[in-house]
Structure 1
Amino acid sequence: MLSSLFLILFGFVSARDADQGCLSEHVDLIELNHFYDPLGRHVYDQVIFYNRHPGTGQFHVRAWCLVEDRESLSRRPVYQAATGLYRVDWLDSDQQVLRRIESRLHRESWSHLDPERIDKKKYDERLRFALVQPAKRRKPMEEKLAKESTDGSVVSNTKEENGKGGIGSTLSNVLAHQP
């Protein structure tokens, strides 16, 4: 009950920032983790986003991303003095959307164990509360009309049925039959 209330309330905090053209949301903690192999060689950097469990108070991984310095937005958390928040901006190539994640808390760690993998062993990754998904792009009107005309619900292709001289499949005829 408490966790479902938390998910509902959190859904209202996450929103699309129309002015910036990106998906913006707030998490409880942002961690910049530098992962090293057992020989002490640097392997990768990652940013991990955590939410605090309302019942236990423990931080649990919500999402993560690798830091790639070649990107124009490097994914490293930056402190915003005006808001008092840490912020990470990046282009999510999987979802083809610009993301902005903010948090009041930030930490940086250097480890031989991956914090995200440790969390994944304790708590099933499939149960994580995912980042906000971008809205599905709307199909152009022509695609919608073509789909409707192929299922037979809008127009027919015979002269007798549509009275338009046998051109029932043309776009102009489809538009004329729209309610």
Structure 2
Amino acid sequence: MLIAAHHLIDRLRHPRTRADDLAALRRRFAAVRPPTQAEDEAAQELRRQRLALSAALSEVTSCGGCAKGHPLPAGQWQGGHCCSGRTEGVFTDDEVAALRFAGTSHFDLMPPHAAHAGCVFRGPTGCSLRPEHRPNICVRYLCRELEDELRERGQLSAVKALSAELGRAFKNFVRLRPQEGPEDGMDGFPLG
């Protein structure tokens, strides 16, 4: 019932596509079963690693202009080209479970007040989610422009190591979860 009320409010505040995608995601968060102890521990480790990697990337500038000149929805704003994909492609069942087990709730899923251009959390100033509430793939994705900037700063090897560690931890988390069907998991996204 609470999600339905949120949806009505979101339909007044946001474009219909954003409100509908957000309602679908919130329903998926609400449907996540309680974790096993091993899943809970793995999810907490993922949260710690997401925060560490996000902190290592906090000073980068390449993410602020990578979408400039691209067609819509990527080109809606200058940054966040990698964030212009569909929400359900990023928030897979395993990502939703990892976030939910680590404490993310539907209250944390707050979108920006702007046009809907890709993921529901993408806005003109970047992602509206705090790093601990972002999917693992979002935190650890390193495009060429970002790698070039990190190389120039002398940080590429350290950041790649953190990204690989997060990838391995997520792969471990996925292994702990019972697979319920072919739609579960990280279809289309590299884990290693």
Greater percentage in strand: 1
Q: What TM-score, normalized to structure 1?
A: 0.28
TM-score (norm 2): 0.27
Task: Select the structure of larger CA radius of gyration.
Answer: 1
Query: Which has more helix, going by share of residues?
Result: 2
Higher relative contact order (CA 8 A, sep 6+): 2
